[in-house]
Amino acid sequence: MKGFAMKKIGEVGWVEKDKPDYGPYDALVKPIALAPCTSDIHTVWAGAIGERTDMILGHEALGVIAEVGSEVKDFKPGDKVIVPAITPDWYSDAVQRGFSSQTGGPLSGWKFSNFKDGVFGEYFHVNVADWNLAHLPEEIPLEAAVMIPDMLTTGFMGAENAKIPMGGSVAVLGIGPVGLSAVAGAQLQGAGRIFAVGTRPNCVDVAKKYGATDIISYKDGNTADQIVEATDGEGVDAVIVAGGNSNILIDAVNTARAGSVISNINYFGEGDTLPIPRVGWGFGMADKDFATGLCPGGRVRMENLADIVKYGRMDPGLMATHVFHGFEKIEEALLLMKDKPRDLIKPVVIIDENL
Amino acid sequence: MKGFAMKKIGEVGWVEKDKPDYGPYDALVKPIALAPCTSDIHTVWAGAIGERTDMILGHEALGVIAEVGSEVKDFKPGDKVIVPAITPDWYSDAVQRGFSSQTGGPLSGWKFSNFKDGVFGEYFHVNVADWNLAHLPEEIPLEAAVMIPDMLTTGFMGAENAKIPMGGSVAVLGIGPVGLSAVAGAQLQGAGRIFAVGTRPNCVDVAKKYGATDIISYKDGNTADQIVEATDGEGVDAVIVAGGNSNILIDAVNTARAGSVISNINYFGEGDTLPIPRVGWGFGMADKDFATGLCPGGRVRMENLADIVKYGRMDPGLMATHVFHGFEKIEEALLLMKDKPRDLIKPVVIIDENL
Amino acid sequence: MKGFAMKKIGEVGWVEKDKPDYGPYDALVKPIALAPCTSDIHTVWAGAIGERTDMILGHEALGVIAEVGSEVKDFKPGDKVIVPAITPDWYSDAVQRGFSSQTGGPLSGWKFSNFKDGVFGEYFHVNVADWNLAHLPEEIPLEAAVMIPDMLTTGFMGAENAKIPMGGSVAVLGIGPVGLSAVAGAQLQGAGRIFAVGTRPNCVDVAKKYGATDIISYKDGNTADQIVEATDGEGVDAVIVAGGNSNILIDAVNTARAGSVISNINYFGEGDTLPIPRVGWGFGMADKDFATGLCPGGRVRMENLADIVKYGRMDPGLMATHVFHGFEKIEEALLLMKDKPRDLIKPVVIIDENL
Amino acid sequence: MKGFAMKKIGEVGWVEKDKPDYGPYDALVKPIALAPCTSDIHTVWAGAIGERTDMILGHEALGVIAEVGSEVKDFKPGDKVIVPAITPDWYSDAVQRGFSSQTGGPLSGWKFSNFKDGVFGEYFHVNVADWNLAHLPEEIPLEAAVMIPDMLTTGFMGAENAKIPMGGSVAVLGIGPVGLSAVAGAQLQGAGRIFAVGTRPNCVDVAKKYGATDIISYKDGNTADQIVEATDGEGVDAVIVAGGNSNILIDAVNTARAGSVISNINYFGEGDTLPIPRVGWGFGMADKDFATGLCPGGRVRMENLADIVKYGRMDPGLMATHVFHGFEKIEEALLLMKDKPRDLIKPVVIIDENL
C-alpha cells in the first residue's frame, strides 16, 4: 500500500509498505477524509518527536472499516467511522487515574504518526476498535466531521478545562483552527464575553461566528493590556492559550484576573523553559491556576462531539477553507499547512465522497 | 405607597404602606419591569411559606434606584438595575461554605415576599445594594432582562449542576419558563441531544429554539420509557427536573443512565415525602446523583447572566408571551399566572419604558 | 474443584465444579483469604439479584495466581494479589464516561457471585488481570488486607463522595464494617467532628479508634434530632448513609444542613420507593445533594488503598473480629454473617498463612 | 499604644500609635498569642510589598476582644478569638466568584501588615468581626492554636488544591512550618505515600510525625530524580511546592507524573519570571496542572481548622519549637525568624496565659 511519510527529519515523500497487521480487538481502516495538522509540520520540520524513518504521517481521519479483529463487536467492514487522534489503550494505569490520553506514559495515547504509522496511508491500524472508533453520522458533511478527531476535541478541552463561570469572560490567545474550536467551545461552556486574539481575516470572521465578541490584535498594542483595560482593569475569568511562542504564558497570566484559570492547549516547541511572570502571578498566590492536557480521544468522546455537530451546536465546516479531492492530494495539503498562506484555516482532503 | 399584596392565604389585593426604611448598605428601588412567578401563586394559594398578612408579593424585578444608604458606592439614584430574586446577606456562614442562597438559614437568601415585602410595590428595599444589584445594560429589552432575576438563574443552575459532559445527552422534565431556561442552559453547558418533556405548543416552540432536539409528550406513553428507548436502552447523561408533582423523581431516576446526575430545580409543594424508585436507583448504587439548590443571586451572577443575554447567547424575551404596561397591571398578570392559559409562558409587566 | 455456593434462593451448600476457563487477558486465582459480605446474605436469603443455581458465592478475596492468560504481563503464577469486588471490563462506555463500576450496564462491574462464580471456590476467574489485580504488599496482615477489596473501597468512596470540607462535620449513619470504613475514610478526607450512629459495643469502640468524636444511639431519641441539637440547630456538612432500612434517607436529609452532601453507600433491599422528606429537603431547594455509587474496583484503586494500610493511615484489621482458618470454614463464617451476633464486625477466613 | 513595626525597608523597631478606630461591624482586639511569619521578614528586609513607614507588623494572632462595633452580634469584650491572617471584606466581587482571599484586588484579603497595621500591637483592628473571627476553643493550647491563622490554613490549602486521590502519592517540596502543615494536610486528604523534601533534623522529625513516609535530601542528588526513581519512573500524583527559589517549579514539574496537580503555596520573592520545564511539562500537554492560591481566611475556615486541632486530627503545637513569654519578646522572636537557626521551626510569643 501507499502512504505519505516522513522520510527523515526535514523530508517527506510517498512510501510503499505492507498493510498493517492487527490484533483481535483492532481494526484496519481505509481513509475517506483526512486533514494535516500543525503537529505533522512540527514532527517533520522541527523534529518535535525526534528522528523517524519512513513513518506515515497524519492523525486526523474519517475512515471506512476494511477488516476487524475477531473480538471486535460493534464495527464491521463497510462501516464509516470517526477516528480520534488519541487512541488510548484503556487497559492502563492512566485510564484508571482519569487521564486516558496519558495511557502508557506521557502523551502516549497519541499513537498515529508517533509510535506507529499514521492515517495518511491507504490503510491504517486502529487499536481497540470498539472503544476507539465511533460511527460517523450520515448527517455530518465530511469536511466538518474531519475536524472532530483533533481540532474540536482539543479546542473544546481547552474550554472545558478553563472552568468558565456561566456568563463569565474568556480570552482565547490564538485563533488558528484549535483556537477557533476553543472559541466555539467557550460559547458551549457558557461564556459571556469572549476576547479572541488574532489578526488573519478568515480566522477573525470565523471567530465571530463562533461567538467571539471582541477581536484583539497585537497591532493595537500589548494584547494583555488591551484586554485588562477592556475589563476595567480586572482581566478575564479564564484564558485559553491556543498559540504563541515560549513567552505566551506571560501574556496569559497578565490577561487573567485574580481567581481564574489559564487553560493551555498550545504545543510548546521551543525553549528549555517557559516563563511565568512572577508579579502577574501574584508571587504564586493570586489564584491563577494552570490547566493542561492532551486532547481526549476514545469512542465516547467522538460520539459526544459528533452529537455537538449533528445537532447544530456549532459548524466546524467553517474552518475547512481549502478542500482537496483525492488521496494523492495529501502532499499538497500538507505543504499548504507548512506554508500557511494568510487565507488558510485548515486544509482537508476528501478521498472519495462515495466510499 | 401602593403595593400588590397577599392579604392572607388565598387572598390578594392592593395595600397602602409606608416606603421601606433602609440601612447604610441598602437601597430603595422603584420597579421598571416586573414578573409574577409560580412561587407567588404557591405563596398565596397553596400557603407554601405559611400565613402572611398584607405582605407585598413579587421577587422578579428590574428597577431604578430611588435612594441609597450612606455606604453604597457603586449605585446612585437614577441607575437602572437588575434585582435578583435571591439577595444574600454576604456576611454569613453559608456564604463562606459556598452556598450563598442558604445564607442565614435554609432558603433564607430568598427575602422578597418571604421575610419582607416583595417587589410589587411602588418602592422596595434591597439589602447590600453594592453586592446584590447589577447595572442593567441598555442593550437588553426590558421583557428579556426581567427573566434574569429568577428564570435564567434558576434554569441555568439546573443545567450547571447537572454536570453535562460536552456533547452529552440531557432530559429536561417540564418546559414552563424555568424548564425552558434549563433547556437553553443545557445548550450553553455543551449538551448534544436535549429531550424536552412537555406539550404546550408555545413552550414546545421555544424549547426547540433554545436547543431541544426531541420533544417528548406524556400522551405518547411513559416519558421515561420513551427517552430510554430513544437512547437505545441507556438513558441520558443528565436529567433536569423542572416541573412535575411529588412523583416526578421516579421518572427522573428512570430516565437517567447508570452514572449520571439528576438536577432538581422543581419546587415540591405537596406530600410528606418524595419517592425515589429503589430498583431504578440501582438499590442506591447506580451512580445516579441528585443535585439541588436555590437559584444563585447576588451581583456577579446577575452581571454574568446579563452578559449571556447582551452577547446574544440566548434570548429570554421569547418567553415573554404576555406583556402588560402599567404598574396596576400586576394584578392581571398575577391572576394570569394563576389561571395559566395554554398559550402562556410568562407574563411581564412593564411599568414605564421611559424610566 | 470445590466451592461454597448458593444452590437456590434460601439455600447454600458445597458444590463441585470444573476449574473456570480463562481468556488471554485473564487469570485463574486460588484464594488465600476470604470474607463473606452482607451482600452474600442478601443474595441468598433475600433473593436480591434474583434466582441463581449453584452459583459460587463471595467477592472479597486475597489470592495467589495459579495460571495467567497469554497476554497478562504483570502477574505470574505464585504472585499474591488483592482481588477487588468490582472488576470492570475497562473496554467500556461507562469507563470512558468516568463510572467504571457501571461498566457494561448498571452495577455490572460487580461480576463475582453475580454474573459468574464468586471467590469462595478453590479457584476463581479474574477478568483483565493486569488491570484488575494488585500485588499484595508483604507488610499487610491478611485479615487487614482482605478488607480492601470491598469494605475499604466502599466506605472510603462514601467519604470521598461526601465532599467533606477540611475540618467539616460528618455524620455516619450505621457502623457495621462499611460504616466503620466510612468513619475512617471521613477522617482521611479531613473531617473535624464525626458523629457515628450505632450501638453495638465493638463497633462503637472501633468507630472511636477510626476517628468518631460523638456516638449517637437511637435509644436516646431520634438520631437526626440529636445531631442537629449537637450542632446548634444547623446539622452537619456531610452525611454518609451506611445502613438502615428504606426510610433512612429521611433521617439523612434531616441530619444534613442547608448546603451539604448526603453520600449513600447503603444497599437498599426493600420497598418500591425510598422516601425523601419534602420539608427537610427544602422543597427540593436546600442544596442538599445526594451522591451515590458502587465501590470503585480495578488495580489502581487497590494499589492506592493498599498504600493507605501499608503506611499506617488506618488499620482495617480492627474490624476482623472473627478469624477462621481453613477453606472449609467459609460456611461457618457465612452463617455467622447471617446470624450477626452482637460482637461481630466482620468474619474473615484465612485459607493458608503459608501460601 | 505600643507596636512592633517596620520603620522602613530594612529597619524594625517599637512605635507608639493611637489605638485603631473601628467601624460598626469591626472589632478591636488585644493579642494573647502571636507568631512572626517569613512574610514579615520578606516585608521588612526584602521590601516584598514595597516601602512602608512605621507599619506595625504581624498577621498571626490569637486575641481577646477589647471592643466591638454596634453591629457585631457574636462577639463581646472578653471573648477569646482566633484571628485569620486573611480577613476578606465579604462584600466583594471576588467572594461571589469563589476566591475570597482575592477580595478587593489580587491578594487584598491580606490586610494585616500590608494595607493596615498588623497584629504586633497592644491592640489591632479586625474588619467584619462576626465573619472574620472564630471563638477559640478552650481545649487547644495557645502555641498550637496560633498556627491556625496562617500555617495550617496555608499548608492545608496546598493539600486540598492538590486533589490527592485516596491513597495517592504526594511530594512536599520544603518542610518549613508551611510545608510541614502541608504534609499533615496531605495525610488528612487521604494521601498514601508522602515524600518530604528537606534536611533540617527538627523538621524531618515533625514531617514523619505528620505522615511523611520518605525523607528526600538534596544532599543525595537531584530531588526530582530521587522521587521519580522511588516511584518506578512514574513520579507522584501530586506535588505541593512549599519552599524553594525561582527555579523550584522545574523540580516540581519533573517530580509529577503525567496526569497530576502541582499545588503551589510558596511565596516567590525573586526573579522576573518563574521557569516551567518545557519537556517535563510534556510540551504543555502532559496533564500536569498548577493550582495556586492565597490561604483562605474568614470565620468558617478558622472554626473548621480549630476542629481539626481540637479533635486531635493533627497537633500543630509540634511546630512551636521556640516559645517566648511577654509582648516585648516579639522583637526577639521576629529576629529569630530572620536568623533561622537550624533547630527553628516556628517561634511563638505568648502574651499572657491568663488573659
- When the pLDDT of each residue in chain B is averaged and rounded to a whole number, the result is 97
Residue A103: closest C-alpha in chain D: D258
Residue D352: pLDDT band (50, 70, 90) is confident
- Contact of B353 with B331, CB cutoff 8 Å: no
- Contact of C88 with C101, CB cutoff 8 Å: yes
Whether C300 and A96 lie within 8 Å, measured CB to CB:
yes
- When the pLDDT of each residue in chain A is averaged and rounded to a whole number, the result is 97
Question: If you search the block for the grid coordinates 481549502, which residue do you land on?
Answer: A322
- Contact of C204 with C175, CB cutoff 8 Å: yes
First-to-last C-alpha distance (Å) of chain A: 18
Residue C164: closest C-alpha in chain D: D189
Contacts of D13 (CB under 8 A, 6+ apart): D4, D5, D7
CA distance C100 to chain A (A): 8
CB contacts < 8 A, A to B, total 84
C194-205 per-position pLDDT tens digit: 999 999 999 999
CB contacts < 8 A, B to C, total 148
Whether C289 and B289 lie within 8 Å, measured CB to CB:
yes
Contacts of A167 in chain B (CB under 8 A): 301, 303-308
CA distance B177 to chain C (A): 17
- Cell readout for C226 is 440529636
Whether B273 and C275 lie within 8 Å, measured CB to CB:
yes
B277-310 per-position pLDDT tens digit: 999 999 999 999 999 999 999 999 999 999 999 9
Task: Round to whole Å and give the CA distance between B330 and B321.
Answer: 15
Instruction: Evaluate if residue D60 carries a pLDDT over 80.
Output: yes
Q: Which of B304, B305, B309 to mutate to test the interface with A (most CBs of A within 10 A)?
A: B304
Distances (CA, A) of C189 to B99, C227, D163, D292: 20, 20, 11, 20
Contacts of C138 (CB under 8 A, 6+ apart): none
B137-157 per-position pLDDT tens digit: 999 999 999 999 999 999 999
Which pLDDT score, from 0 to 100, does residue B352 have?
77
Contacts of D307 in chain C (CB under 8 A): 167-169, 192-193
Residues of chain A whose C-beta is under 8 A from some C-beta in B?
156, 160, 165-169, 185, 187-194, 211, 213, 301, 303-308, 310-311, 313
When CB atoms are compared, the residue of B25, B97, B128 closest to D300 is B97
CA distance D93 to chain B (A): 6
Tell me the CB-side half-sphere exposure of residue A325, using CA atoms within 13 A: 4
When CB atoms are compared, the residue of B191, B194, B304 closest to A167 is B304
Whether C90 and A90 lie within 8 Å, measured CB to CB:
yes
Whether D97 and B130 lie within 8 Å, measured CB to CB:
no
Which pLDDT score, from 0 to 100, does residue C352 have?
77
Tell me the CB-side half-sphere exposure of residue C165, using CA atoms within 13 A: 22
Contacts of C98 in chain D (CB under 8 A): none
pLDDT, mean of residues D218-234? 97
pLDDT, mean of residues D12-36? 98
When CB atoms are compared, the residue of C105, C258, C290 closest to B290 is C290
Residues of chain B whose C-beta is under 8 A from some C-beta in D?
25, 90-93, 95-98, 100, 128, 130-131, 298-301
Residue B353: pLDDT band (50, 70, 90) is low
Chains that touch D (3 or more CB pairs under 8 A): A, B, C
Whether C92 and A131 lie within 8 Å, measured CB to CB:
yes
Instruction: Evaluate if residue B232 carries a pLDDT over 80.
Output: yes
Whether B285 and C273 lie within 8 Å, measured CB to CB:
no
CA distance D85 to chain B (A): 16
Q: Which of A304, A305, A309, A314 to mutate to test the interface with B (most CBs of B within 10 A)?
A: A304
Instruction: Evaluate if residue D353 carries a pLDDT over 90.
Output: no
Whether D307 and C167 lie within 8 Å, measured CB to CB:
yes
In this structure, which long-range contacts are made by residues C101-105, counting pairs with CB atoms below 8 Å and at least 24 apart in sequence? C101/B287, C101/C293, C101/C294, C101/C295, C101/C296, C101/C297, C102/B258, C102/B259, C102/B286, C102/B287, C102/C294, C105/B258
Q: Kindly state the greatest CA–CA separation across chain D.
A: 62
Strand pairing category for B11-16 and B2-8 = antiparallel
Q: Which residue, among B168, B256, B164, B260, has the nearest Cα to C292 in the 3D structure?
A: B260
Task: Round to whole Å and give the CA distance between A167 and C168.
Answer: 31
- Cell readout for B236 is 441520558
Over chain D, what HEC string results? CEEEEEEECCEEEEEECCCCCCCCCCEEEEEEEECCCHHHHHHHHCCCCCCCCCEECCCCEEEEEEEECCCCCCCCCCCEEEECCECCCCCCHHHHHCCHHHCCCCCCCECECCCECCCCECCEEECCHHHHCEECCCCCCHHHHCCHHHHHHHHHHHHHHCCCCCCCCEEEECCCHHHHHHHHHHHCCCCCCEEEECCCHHHHHHHHHCCCCEEECHHHCCHHHHHHHHCCCCCEEEEEECCCCCCHHHHHHHHEEEEEEEEECCCCCCCCEEEEECCCCHHHCCCEEEECCCCCCCHHHHHHHHHHHHCCCCCHHHHEEEEEECHHHHHHHHHHHHHCCCCCCEEEEECCCCC
Residue A353: pLDDT band (50, 70, 90) is low
Instruction: Evaluate if residue B355 carries a pLDDT over 80.
Output: no
Chains that touch B (3 or more CB pairs under 8 A): A, C, D
C-alpha angle A193-A197-A199 in degrees, rounded to nearest 5: 130
When CB atoms are compared, the residue of B258, B268, B278 closest to C278 is B268
Contacts of A270 in chain D (CB under 8 A): 278
Q: Which residue, among B292, B320, B343, B308, has the nearest Cα to B187 in the 3D structure?
A: B308
Task: Round to whole Å and give the CA distance between C346 and D254.
Answer: 44
When CB atoms are compared, the residue of D95, D98, D301 closest to B90 is D95
Whether D311 and C192 lie within 8 Å, measured CB to CB:
yes
Tell me the CB-side half-sphere exposure of residue D4, using CA atoms within 13 A: 20
A125: left (phi over 0), alpha (psi -120 to 50) or beta: beta
Whether A282 and D266 lie within 8 Å, measured CB to CB:
no
Q: How many CB atoms lie within 10 A of CB B54?
A: 14
CA distance B135 to chain A (A): 15
- Cell readout for C137 is 504488599
Q: Kindly state the greatest CA–CA separation across chain C.
A: 62
When CB atoms are compared, the residue of C96, C100, C298 closest to A298 is C96
When CB atoms are compared, the residue of D25, D96, D299 closest to B299 is D96
Whether D274 and A271 lie within 8 Å, measured CB to CB:
no
Residue B201: pLDDT band (50, 70, 90) is very high
pLDDT, mean of residues A31-51? 93
C334-344 per-position pLDDT tens digit: 999 999 999 99
When CB atoms are compared, the residue of A265, A277, A284 closest to D273 is A277
Which pLDDT score, from 0 to 100, does residue B354 have?
65
CB contacts < 8 A, A to C, total 36
Whether A106 and D258 lie within 8 Å, measured CB to CB:
yes
Q: Which of B91, B101, B131 to mutate to test the interface with D (most CBs of D within 10 A)?
A: B91
When CB atoms are compared, the residue of A98, A100, A300 closest to C93 is A300
Cα-only R_g, chain C? 20
Instruction: Evaluate if residue C303 carries a pLDDT over 80.
Output: yes
Instruction: Evaluate if residue C355 carries a pLDDT over 90.
Output: no
Whether C187 and D313 lie within 8 Å, measured CB to CB:
yes
pTM over 0.90: yes
C278-298 per-position pLDDT tens digit: 999 999 999 999 999 999 999
Strand pairing category for B194-197 and B124-126 = unpaired
Task: Round to whole Å and give the CA distance between B59 and B46.
Answer: 17
Over chain C, what HEC string results? CEEEEEEECCEEEEEECCCCCCCCCCEEEEEEEECCCHHHHHHHHCCCCCCCCCEECCCCEEEEEEEECCCCCCCCCCCEEEECCECCCCCCHHHHHCCHHHCCCCCCCECECCCECCCCECCEEECCHHHHCEECCCCCCHHHHCCHHHHHHHHHHHHHHCCCCCCCCEEEECCCHHHHHHHHHHHHCCCCCEEEECCCHHHHHHHHHCCCCEEECHHHCCHHHHHHHHCCCCCEEEEEECCCCCCHHHHHHHHEEEEEEEEECCCCCCCCEEEEECCCCHHHCCCEEEECCCCCCCHHHHHHHHHHHHCCCCCHHHHEEEEEECHHHHHHHHHHHHHCCCCCCEEEEECCCCC
Q: CA dihedral in degrees (B34, B37, B43, B48; nearest 10)?
A: -150
- Cell readout for B242 is 423542572
Whether B131 and D91 lie within 8 Å, measured CB to CB:
yes
Whether D301 and B96 lie within 8 Å, measured CB to CB:
yes
Task: Round to whole Å and give the CA distance between C91 and C263.
Answer: 28
Q: Which amino acid is at B8?
A: K
Q: Strands, DSSP E only, in B146-297?
A: 170-173, 194-197, 214-216, 236-241, 256-264, 273-277, 288-291
Q: Which of B37, B255, B287 to mutate to test the interface with C (most CBs of C within 10 A)?
A: B287
CA distance A96 to chain B (A): 16
Contacts of A245 in chain D (CB under 8 A): none
